[in-house]
Structure 1
């Protein structure tokens, strides 16, 4: 399952939510319209442990593992997501899971549904999953993620994958997996390599965790419309 997601806040606003845990930008954030969905192979914000504490970077979503030495585009294996059941066993995921975890901030994510009679090549129904914030800081949540660094033929590349698992009832009728979504406190636990790790992740969330709103592709703002604003 490859998903899209949104981060409809300025990254500076998001980072202020870490309060007593400072986060430092170590590079320039990607320039993108805040309404545009983030898709696999796009640059996205990633928060991880750095030399001076937590650092925020912009990295490729679709992980290329360290052992890949060819061109980036030659890596065809679907690694936008990392199945929770494979984190400790997959040659692609086990080292990043053990040593390189990250948080990916977002304000909603997209799920796709194959309508009755759907055939390959036809559009799917597109749903945006949101939640009711429990506090002012809860409008941003975080995907549990892992990341890796590859010395590719195109140069060094850091990239990440989002952890997914079996879906809860809100999404079970739409797709066969669901991302592990964390609050800030849960996210800081995920970054702790001495913590419970994947044992603390929940993808089969209770019914009513997410509100689903249909958001067809044609409702996404076009490049031409953005330019006119």
Structure 2
């Protein structure tokens, strides 16, 4: 389960990548004034890209920041009362789980990233000691995309509504299994456009683990103190 990732490229570069494949991309808000090497963690706001028209994603895309930790549309309590960990959606049940099935059917998105983080127990680890931080990257270092889902809900303390997202995970491939048995679906831009197509392969394109050589894993220093949600998650 991935609960930390990095996006070390600006929106300018992301726009350029979509311009190269002739897909219009507009930004609905201003880019956050956050250093590009700041890790993204649960409940943080992060950049997502979604179709302007879900039935025709190649006609144009919209980018904006929203909260990472999906709150389903059926939740009517206060925001803080939705405590179920909804940062990731399992590929095996993404089309049937009540929290994710409607978003899978109509509200898919892409989440740009340049690496993701998994924590593991180093030799001799005991409960209460820090875990090992592993940063997972790919050879060319270019921006990639999580297969994401987004939702709009109206918690009782946010009558104006809030938009949130999660992304899909599946079985880990051989590059990652030594540290975790799950891995997010990390897509190229072409694969990402296929994911956005509601008439395309959808979850079936994400079910197979990434083949050997897809990812490289390196030890990475632990960053600032984790949130309570992050500590519970790992």
Shift of 1:200: 1.1
Shift of 1:176: 2.1
Show structure 1 runs of 4+ deviating over 4 A.
none
- Number of aligned residue pairs: give it: 216
Task: Please give the per-residue CA displacement for 1:78-107, whole angstroms capped at 9, x wherever unaligned.
Answer: 100000011111011111000000000001
Q: Is the 8 A contact 1:178 1:203 kept in 2?
A: no
Q: Which residue of 2 aligns with 1:214?
A: 219
In the alignment, which of 143, 146, 166 is matched to residue 146 of structure 2? 143
Q: Secondary structure at the match of 1:208?
A: coil
Asked if 1:69 corresponds to 2:71, the answer is: no
Q: Which residue of 1 aligns with 2:107?
A: 100
Task: Please give the per-residue CA displacement for 1:168-211, whole angstroms capped at 9, x wherever unaligned.
Answer: 11111111210001000000010011111011115611222111
- The TM-score normalised by the length of structure 1 is 0.89
Q: Is the 8 A contact 2:66 2:165 kept in 1?
A: yes
Q: Which residue of 2 aligns with 1:122?
A: 129
- 182-191 vs 116-125, which moves further: 116-125
Q: Secondary structure at the match of 2:49?
A: strand
1:144-159 → structure 2 map (5 Å cutoff): 144-155=147-158, 156-159=161-164
Q: Is the 8 A contact 2:3 2:118 kept in 1?
A: yes
- Unpaired stretches in structure 1, ≥5 consecutive residues: 223-229
Q: Secondary structure at the match of 2:154?
A: strand
Shift of 1:28: 2.1
In the alignment, which of 158, 172, 185 is matched to residue 180 of structure 1? 185
**CA distance in 2 between partners of 1:30 and 1:203 (Å):** 35
In the alignment, which of 131, 134, 145 is matched to residue 138 of structure 2? 131
Shift of 1:53: 2.3
In the alignment, which of 21, 25, 39 is matched to residue 23 of structure 1? 25
**CA distance in 1 between partners of 2:26 and 2:118 (Å):** 31
Q: Which residue of 2 aligns with 1:225?
A: none
**CA distance in 2 between partners of 1:84 and 1:163 (Å):** 6
**CA distance in 2 between partners of 1:84 and 1:31 (Å):** 33
Q: Which residue of 1 aligns with 2:171?
A: 166
Q: Is the 8 A contact 1:165 1:177 kept in 2?
A: yes
CA gap of 1:40–1:113, structure 2 versus 1, over 3 A, is same
Alpha carbon RMSD of aligned pairs, Å? 1.6
- 121-130 vs 48-57, which moves further: 48-57
Shift of 1:221: 7.4
Q: Secondary structure at the match of 2:162?
A: strand
